[in-house]
Amino acid sequence: MDSGPRYWFRAKRYGWGWGLPLTWEGWVVITVWLCVLVAVVPSLHEHRHVLDQFVFIVGMVAVLCGVCYWKGEPLRWRWGD
């Protein structure tokens, strides 16, 4: 019996957005995302191109938000329980 969609990321209790992952898949997404960020940012810093750094970080945030939107609880403003 299916209990509905299985979300990887829970919605924040207060405010708008997502909180910590609910499943191991969510934790893998966060871990891989952080590893890529930590691995690439120092090499961008060596070249001292601020625009490259900005575009990369904005892109990384967009990818993470996209995954959270796709696999997370629906967004809405929350006031707590």
Instruction: Read off the pLDDT of residues 33-66 as tens digits, 9 standing for 90 and up.
Output: 999 999 988 887 777 778 888 889 999 999 999 9
State the DSSP code for 8: S
Number of domains in the chain: 1
Containing 20, the helix (H) or strand (E) segment is: strand 18-21
Instruction: Flag whether 57 is in a domain.
Output: yes
Please tell me the predicted confidence (pLDDT) of residue 43. Answer: 82
| 41/46 Cα distance (integer angstroms) | 9
Q: What phi and psi values does residue 74 have, to the nearest 5 degrees? A: -60, 145
Instruction: Flag whether 80 is in a domain.
Output: no
CA–centroid distance for 70 within its chain? 11
Domain enclosing residue 52, as ranges: 21-73
Instruction: Flag whether 78 is in a domain.
Output: no
Instruction: Flag whether 52 is in a domain.
Output: yes
Instruction: Flag whether 61 is in a domain.
Output: yes
Instruction: Flag whether 2 is in a domain.
Output: no
Q: How many CA atoms lie within 13 A of 29 on its CB side?
A: 22
Instruction: Flag whether 12 is in a domain.
Output: no
| 74/64 Cα distance (integer angstroms) | 15
